[in-house]
Amino acid sequence: MEIYEKAPAKINLGLDVLYKRADDYHELKMVMASVDLADHLKIESLPTDEIIVTSNKAFLPVDKRNNVYQAAEILKKRYQIQKGVKITIEKRIPVAAGLGGGSSDCAAALRGLNRLWDLGLSMDELIEIGMQVGTDVPFCLHGTTAKISGKGEIVEPIVSMPQCWVVLVKPRISVSTRKIFQIVDATQLEHVPIDDLIAAIEAQDYQAMIANMGNNLESVTIQKYPVVQKMKDKMLKFGADVAMMSGSGPTVFALCQKYSRAQRIYNALKGFCEEVYLVRTLP
């Protein structure tokens, strides 16, 4: 039996780090949306009792360091699955980019294995398992547009963000989310108006949405990696409606209502970076 799952990338329309919790995680308030840049997973049964993960990207670890492998291992142990599985990951989302690629792959694997092994797990059960792998997994299980709080486990879907074009650019660096959060001082951050952002999205008011977008991790990442600010500046110079870092970076995205403007930004940035994508938001 073979099952196919799509694993879309995410962008942060709003990211507000509120404070450091007693469990050493940070309390977050965010708005995330899925975009039409995705990895693809093929999940198939094996006659032998083993987990095999393969990928089209040679640099991607396919052992216990891989989020997909971890998800399969947790399910096998918890539900005493005596069957094997092979999961093939076709990577299109840049790695260590702030786009949630590893988390989305994990979510896709959980959805697919739930079907393959006929486990009948609810969304809440999948989220609880996914949180053992990564804090972006709960959103990736839901997808579309949502408000996220806690350390990432509380996901409240909202109406999809207004449709627009998205230009994504990943500079030639990788950023560790863990290391960025290690140096964050939440008391020094300027907070993002997440509630106003959500109200704008629910009203489908594009101009109000972009006016209230923000990511207060930008100041932390840009201090270590100034190229992020340079990419933002170039996007705005070439006509972006708004330009912002996604997650802990380093990927920067621009939103445009007009395709011609998005195409111009895409073409201009191809001269500066290899990894540039022009996609739509997902309804």
User: 198 lies in a domain?
Assistant: yes
Residues 172 and 147 in one domain: no
**Among 155, 187, 213, where does a domain finish?**
155
Residues 130 and 192 in one domain: no
173 and 145 in a single domain? The answer is: no
Q: Please state, in angstroms and as integers, the Cα–Cα distance from residue 224 to each residue in 7, 184, 204, 219, following that order.
A: 30, 12, 35, 9
Among 129, 155, 181, the domain boundary falls at 155
User: Do 151 and 11 fall into the same domain?
Assistant: yes
Are residues 118 and 205 located together in one domain of the fold?
no
What's the pTM?
0.94
| pLDDT value, residue 265 | 97
- Residue located via tokens 């230009």: 167
Do the annotations mark residue 260 as ligand-binding? no
User: Does residue 109 form part of some domain?
Assistant: yes
Q: Residue 58 has what pLDDT?
A: 87
225 shares a domain with 106: no
- Quote the radius of gyration of the chain (alpha carbons, Å): 19
Q: Looking at the structure, do residues 104 and 222 belong to the same domain, yes or no?
A: no
Judge whether 166 is annotated as a binding position: no
Question: Does residue 201 share a domain with residue 149?
Answer: no
Q: Are 147 and 167 within one domain?
A: no
Residue 109 marked as a ligand binder: no
Report yes or no: 160 and 202 within 8 Å, Cβ to Cβ: no
Per-residue pLDDT of the chain (283 residues; tens, 9 = 90+): 899 999 999 999 999 999 999 999 999 999 999 999 999 999 999 999 999 999 999 889 999 999 999 999 999 999 999 999 999 999 999 988 999 999 999 999 999 999 999 999 999 999 999 999 999 999 999 999 999 999 999 999 999 999 999 999 999 998 988 899 999 999 999 999 999 999 999 999 999 999 999 999 999 999 999 999 999 999 999 999 999 999 999 999 999 999 999 999 999 999 889 999 999 998 8
Say whether 94 counts as a known binding-site residue: yes
Which positions are catalytic? 10, 136
Number of domains in the chain: 2
- pLDDT, position 174: 86
Does 130 appear as a known binding residue?
no
Residue 231 lies in a domain: yes
Output the domain CATH number for residue 184: 3.30.70.890
Does 150 show up as a binding residue in the annotation? no
- In this structure, the answer to whether residues 7 and 137 fall within a common structural domain is yes
Nearest C-alpha neighbor of 147 from the set 205, 109, 201, 101: 201
Q: What are the distances in angstroms from CA 179 to CA 41, 170, 176, 217, 244?
A: 29, 18, 5, 12, 20
Tell me, yes or no, whether 1 lies in a domain: yes
Establish whether 104 is an annotated binding residue: yes
Q: Are 36 and 172 in a shared domain?
A: no
User: pLDDT tens, 143-188?
Assistant: 999 999 999 999 999 999 999 999 999 999 989 888 999 999 999 9
Between CA 24 and CA 26 the distance in angstroms is: 7
191 and 82: one domain? no
* Assigned domain for 283 exists: no
DSSP H helices, the chain, are: 67-78, 101-116, 123-130, 137-142, 177-182, 194-202, 206-212, 218-224, 227-237, 259-269
CATH code, domain with 83 = 3.30.230.10
Of the three residues 126, 155, 184, the one that is the final residue of a domain is: 155
Residues 181 and 27 sit within 8 Å (Cβ to Cβ) = no
56 located within any domain: yes
Instruction: Confirm whether 21 is domain-assigned.
Output: yes
In a domain, 191, yes or no: yes
| 7 is an annotated ligand-binding site residue | no
Residues of the domain holding 259: 163-278
Burial 65-95, CB ≥16 within 10 A → b, else e: ebbbbbbbebbbeeeebeebbbbbbebebbe
